[in-house]
Amino acid sequence: MPRAKDEPKTVAVTNQGATNNLLTTIVMVSENPYLVFSGSKSQYLTEQICKSLGCSMGRMTTQHFADGEFAVSYEESIRGRDVFLVQSTFPSADNLMELLLMIDAAKRASAHYITAVVPYFGWARQDRKDKPRVSIGAKLIADLLSTAGITRLITMDLHADQIQGFFDVPVDHLYASSVFMDYIEKTMPLDNLVVATPDVGGTKRASSYARHLGVPMVICHKTRLRANEVAEMRIIGDVEGKDVLLVDDIVDTAGTITKSADLMLKNGAKSVRAMASHAVMSDPATERVNESGLSEMIFTDSIPYIKGSPKVKIISVANLIAESIKRVCSHESISSLYSF
């Protein structure tokens, strides 16, 4: 298990005495017990995590070859160290492959403890067999990470909580609610607020927000023609004259959440905001958000959102992840970090 942050490393120094007796002196050398490394596409977040931790980002290089293959190497010794490897596995699959190579390289370099920090866990929507002859992608990714050599996983807002059970190593499942709640309470009119979910699958999440804030909840019930295409949607509950907050874990093409917002306004809502942990935002998501009735769209920085929109606000989870790393190293509980 990792050492506590303030626990010094003990080094024995042996000196030859005048009478040929061995004199052993114990020297206490303070050393940061962990190293934090970043994958290529998560450096923006890792820099903020390291700033919060008060440490430098570990030195690592990724070499790319002409055929698209690449290799990673650590440019400092990690033997016997506790390493934290930060990389979200959003598209493309190169990000996942790079993380797997980082894990493998750390294992072969004799790292003591390897923690994968995966703010956005990709393939999580494939968490069960919903029809015959399909893969369960989330279980496959869990197996790949475990086989590569992780000893712990830190992730945030999994699409389905049961994915934690796909791992045989400890999983620290963080929630963006701990950073979202402060923003809600400071900027939104709670006396007129209604929390909504854009689909039935998010009822538990929306219910938790509504219960914590002490406000009503409504549900959008949808049916799909196929993936990423909504056929029909209706509202269960009353939104007339209310300020609506839609909460979700992932926004991909933004079709569901923008249709929900427009439907809320059509049914008399005063305003509609949306909040989601992961900004996948595949085309044409940005255009849909800009053209919708949403007054604001709030994400975390688990995935870099580079396209930009005047309606989109990004809230960082770097401090949340940094505090989790500290507590893992000092063997403290992280449950107190959760708002609910």
- Positions marked active-site: 222
By C-alpha distance, which of 333, 325, 318 is closest to 113? 325
Cβ–Cβ under 8 Å, residues 231 and 216: no
In DSSP terms, 230 is beta-bridged to: 224
In DSSP terms, 90 is beta-bridged to: none
Cβ–Cβ under 8 Å, residues 157 and 277: yes
Element (H, E) at 171: strand 171-174
Q: For the chain, what is the radius of gyration of the CA atoms?
A: 23
By C-alpha distance, which of 177, 178, 161, 87 is closest to 124? 161
Cβ–Cβ under 8 Å, residues 331 and 314: no
